[in-house]
Amino acid sequence: MENNNQNCSEIATRIYDLDTEVYRCVGSSLGRTFTGDRDACIEDITRMLITNPRVYECRSQIALIGNMARTIKNKDDRRRLMTEYNEILNMIAEIPESFGSVDILNENMAALNTSNLRQKFSKDDHLIICIGRTHGSAGSDIGFALADKLKISYYDAEIFQQVLERMDMEQENIEDSNDYHNHAHEFDSKNPNKKPHGLVKFFKNFSKYHGLPVQDAIFFNQSDLICDMAKNEDFIVMGRCADVILTNKRIPHISIFITASFEQRVRRMMNVYHLDYKHAARMLRKLDHQHGHYYNFYTGRKWGNAVNYDLCINSASYGIDESVELIERMINQYPNR
Amino acid sequence: MENNNQNCSEIATRIYDLDTEVYRCVGSSLGRTFTGDRDACIEDITRMLITNPRVYECRSQIALIGNMARTIKNKDDRRRLMTEYNEILNMIAEIPESFGSVDILNENMAALNTSNLRQKFSKDDHLIICIGRTHGSAGSDIGFALADKLKISYYDAEIFQQVLERMDMEQENIEDSNDYHNHAHEFDSKNPNKKPHGLVKFFKNFSKYHGLPVQDAIFFNQSDLICDMAKNEDFIVMGRCADVILTNKRIPHISIFITASFEQRVRRMMNVYHLDYKHAARMLRKLDHQHGHYYNFYTGRKWGNAVNYDLCINSASYGIDESVELIERMINQYPNR
């Protein structure tokens, strides 16, 4: 502790002297940061440095000295004083409980986060980007273009439905051929390809989905599919609460939310669907409501709340192409890519 | 229009044939995307292509073919079919009102957005990064470290207050020396440095701030200062509604919001301020409330709503150092930097 105080007093002295020097070189009419008796100032700075969280106050004052030092016209003076400034910052960083020493990192989240590239991502993991988006924000266009640029697969609700239907059909074909003789009476014997219908189909679905409502069954089938895919390939997945599903299964990924202001999205819906303002706005409100309900129902989280994603992008600020580039640039330090 | 239909029919044929080829090469048990009579399928795809917004449905199906093509084991086959896939996508992009053709870009916002680097940023503009943040999210640590890394100035509330106080003092010194004789009766003649106080000071402030309440005056003085600075230097500014102020003045900048979940921020506040959970949570709720009120009062916008920023970062996903690197990577295509 005594040692720490001694150290802080040294740093304080250097801060005070830097301030004096910067003031001498910059000649600003705004004057010095620390005015008053030298010893009193140094004592005061020392107190700030050792009294967390007052160290933050001290940081602002040092930053102000740094801001001024950057404006020094003489190149040699500027370099000399910026070097001293950086050394002082490094010394402060060594003080226990200095600013920046208490990180905000959530180890659990970070371990799952694909953009924490070097440290956390093993080469067995696949690049999985989950994109949530509001309707009309061009989020799916951005996702599609990004997949194309990264040369990885793109999955959305339509594709999942297709894949699941095909898997289902394949399954049914196997079951049908196995069970054909047992259940021959269920089928029109003149047309063996005819599918069971009505109550029969209902009970068939019921047992297939383990008694779950069909919507839930689809959700769980999609979830399983996403986790299976994550073992085998790199991909972008639109919506499907994929971020939450992967987090729960502890599968690394990056989660991005794409949105834009309501007005901007309405304008885009008007263009895409050839609607007037009133109808586009009504459609959007309805879609937003359904979307939020779906996400909340299956995840218990609030849809679109920034704290639920790694990153939120305002697509109206960037447009489709810039947004794609922005995400690309962010992840382009992915090793071996 | 006839021409367009002809074109779409050609694309549809190539899509159908690609599907057939991919299915042949990949040998997947999941089968083909387009099953059924060739002519009927092509007609259906053509209809999808010319019926915006059904073109989005078509895109999902093409994406599915592309996803499968990527899994083809034979390298030559894969390259050949991916080339065809890309050519088809390019052809679709040429169709009027194709997907992605209605951008979400807001020209006004984009023109002000520093991350739209190549097109919109002139070399006379300075790099200005506005960072808003929730308390406890380590946003100010991220901003400070970023400024240090980019070697640009860092401004926060404390620094603004210092700068304004000094400018004020300078101003008062000038005024005092000018007005000394006129207002000598206001001063203690034995102590000419003594400042006016009480009612006198109130009226002095009243006229100085053009009759505004002091808090508003500070806000407007800070706003003026931010706009002045923007003409002269690159900098990072924390809070101060700087994003809205710069947007209103049509000064290019990038606006970032940094946040983390409430629980995560409480945990950090507990560490930084040595508080128990209850006190840290209460402190945070109070600070969030004040902060939101301030932002809303001066901007009419909702604080922390993702659509009000270019980008939102969840600092709990990245931690301080990763967040700094993430932002750095995003803006590192800034020309001549």
Give per-residue pLDDT as tens, A8-26.
899 999 999 999 999 888 8
Closest of B208, B217, B238 to residue B226, by C-alpha: B238
- Round to whole Å and give the CA distance between B77 and B26: 9
Looking at the predicted structure, is the pLDDT value of residue A259 above 70? Answer: yes
With contact defined as beta carbons under 8 Å apart, do A134 and A143 qualify?
A: no
Structure letter (DSSP) for residue A301? S
CA–CA separation, B325 and B113 (whole Å):
20
Token pair recorded at residue A307 = 């704290």
To the question of domain A108-331 being in CATH 3.50.50.60, the answer is: no
* Token pair of B54 as six digits: 């059904």
User: Is there a contact between A57 and B194 (Cβ–Cβ < 8 Å)?
Assistant: no
DSSP A196: P
- Average pLDDT score over residue span A199-213: 59
Report, as an integer, the average pLDDT of B239-249.
87
Share of chain A above pLDDT 90, in %: 25
A104 touches chain B (CB under 8 A): yes
Of residues A210 and A224, more confidence is placed in A224
B319 lies within 8 A of chain A by CB? yes
**Closest CA–CA distance from residue B207 to any residue of chain A (Å):** 23
Nearest to A330 among B113, B307, B326 (CB): B326
**Using CB atoms, which residue from B89, B109, B314 is nearest to A310?**
B314
> Which residues in B lie closer than 8 A to residue A320 (C-beta atoms)?
100, 103-105
pLDDT of residue B202: 53
Of the candidates A217, A223, A241, the one whose C-alpha atom is nearest the C-alpha of residue A292 is A241
Count of other CB atoms within 10 angstroms of residue B119: 8
User: Are the Cβ atoms of B235 and A67 closer than 8 angstroms?
Assistant: yes
> What is chain B's length?
337
> Chain B residue with minimal CA distance to A86?
B148
Mean pLDDT of B314-335: 81
Is B105 within 8 Å of A170 when comparing Cβ atoms? Answer: no
Q: What does the pLDDT look like over B35-64, one tens digit per residue?
A: 888 999 999 899 888 876 677 788 888 888
**Domain range annotation of chain A:** 2-94, 108-331
Q: Which of residues 21-80 of A touch B (CB under 8 A)?
A: 29-31, 33, 52-53, 56-57, 59-61, 63-64, 66-67, 70-71
* Residue A79: pLDDT over 80: yes
- Say yes or no for a CB contact (<8 Å) between B309 and A314: yes
Would you list the DSSP string of A93-153? HHSTT-TT-S----HHHHHTBTTSHHHH--TTS--EEEEEE-TTTTHHHHHHHHHHHHT-E
**pTM to 2 decimal places:** 0.77
Q: What does the DSSP 8-state code read for residue B194?
A: P
Does any CB of chain B come closer than 8 Å to the CB of residue A140? yes
Query: Among A18, A260, A131, which residue's Cα sits nearest to residue B307?
Result: A260
CB atoms within 10 A of CB A198: 7
Show residues of chain B in contact with A102, CB under 8 Å.
Answer: 138, 268, 271-272
pLDDT at B289: 93
Note whether B70 contacts A152, CB cutoff 8 Å.
yes
Interface residue A318 vs chain B (CB under 8 A): yes
Torsion of the alpha carbons at B231, B236, B242 and B248, rounded to the nearest 10 = 40
Contact indicator for A151, A157 with CB cutoff of 8 Å = no
In A210-300, beta strands by DSSP E: 235-238, 254-259
Residue B224 phi, psi (nearest 5): -60, -45
Give the model's pLDDT for residue B287: 94
Q: Which pair of tokens denotes residue A211?
A: 């008694």
Q: Chains A, B: CB contacts under 8 A, how many?
A: 259
Nearest to B272 among A33, A53, A89 (CB): A53
Tell if the CB–CB gap between A319 and B110 is shorter than 8 Å. Answer: yes
**In this complex, is the C-beta atom of A152 within 8 Å of any C-beta atom belonging to chain B?**
yes
Least Cα distance to B140 among A309, A312, A57 occurs for A57
CA distance linking residue B84 with residue B78, whole number of Å: 10
CB-closest option in A31, A140, A310 to B166: A31
> Which chain B residues touch A233 with a CB distance below 8 Å?
70-71
Task: List own/partner pairs for B187-193 with CB under 8 A and 24 or more apart.
Answer: none
Q: Do B326 and A326 touch (CB under 8 A)?
A: no
How far B66 CA sits from the closest chain A CA (Å)?
Answer: 7
Chain A hits for B309, Cβ within 8 Å: 312, 314
Residues of B in contact with A272 (CB under 8 A): 52-53, 102
B113 Cβ under 8 Å from any chain A Cβ: yes
Give the span between the Cα atoms of B40 and B47, in whole angstroms: 11
Which residue in B60, B100, B314 is closest to A311 by CB distance? B314
Q: Is the pLDDT of residue A257 over 90?
A: yes
Count of CA atoms in the C-beta half-sphere (13 A) of A285: 6
What distance in Å separates the CA atoms of residue A327 and residue A116, rounded to the nearest whole number?
14
Give exposure, B66-105, as e/b (b: 16+ Cβ within 10 Å). bbbbbebeeeebbeebbebbeebbebbeebeebbbbbbbb
Tell me what pLDDT residue A277 has.
94
* A119 neighbors A301 (Cβ within 8 angstroms): no
Is ipTM > 0.85 here? no
Q: How large a percentage of chain A has pLDDT more than 70? A: 76
Q: What Rg, from alpha-carbon coordinates, does chain A have?
A: 30
Which of A70, A104, A273 lies nearest to residue B320, judging by beta carbons?
A104
Q: Tell me the per-residue pLDDT of B169-190, one tens digit each, with 9 for 90 and over.
A: 766 665 555 544 444 444 444 4
Classify residue A39 as exposed, middle or buried by CB count within 10 Å of its CB (0-12, 13-18, 19+).
exposed
Cα nearest neighbour of A119 on chain B = B322
Report the 10 Å Cβ neighbour count for B210: 9
A257 backbone dihedrals φ, ψ, rounded to 5°: -115, 130
Instruction: List the one residue out of A44, A34, A62 whose CA is nearest residue A8.
Output: A44
CA–CA distance, A37 with B273 (Å, rounded to integer): 30
Any idea which residue has 């694309």 for tokens? Answer: B11
Here the tokens at position B27 are: 């040998």
- Note the pLDDT of residue B142: 93
Query: How many other C-beta atoms are found inside a 10 Å radius of the C-beta of residue A259?
Result: 26
Positive or negative CA dihedral for A181, A186, A189, A191? negative
Q: Is B177 on the interface with A (CB under 8 A)?
A: no
Nearest to A148 among B60, B89, B158 (CB): B89
List the single residue in A148, A158, A167 with the smallest CB-CB distance to B30: A167
Q: Of A65-79, A211-225, B262-276, which gets the smallest average pLDDT?
A: A211-225
Instruction: Please state which of the ranges A31-35, A128-132, A304-308, B207-211 shows the lowest mean pLDDT.
Output: B207-211
User: pLDDT band at residue B198, thresholds of 50, 70 and 90?
Assistant: low
**What is the predicted pLDDT for the residue at A251?**
87
Residue B147 has pLDDT above 80, yes or no: yes
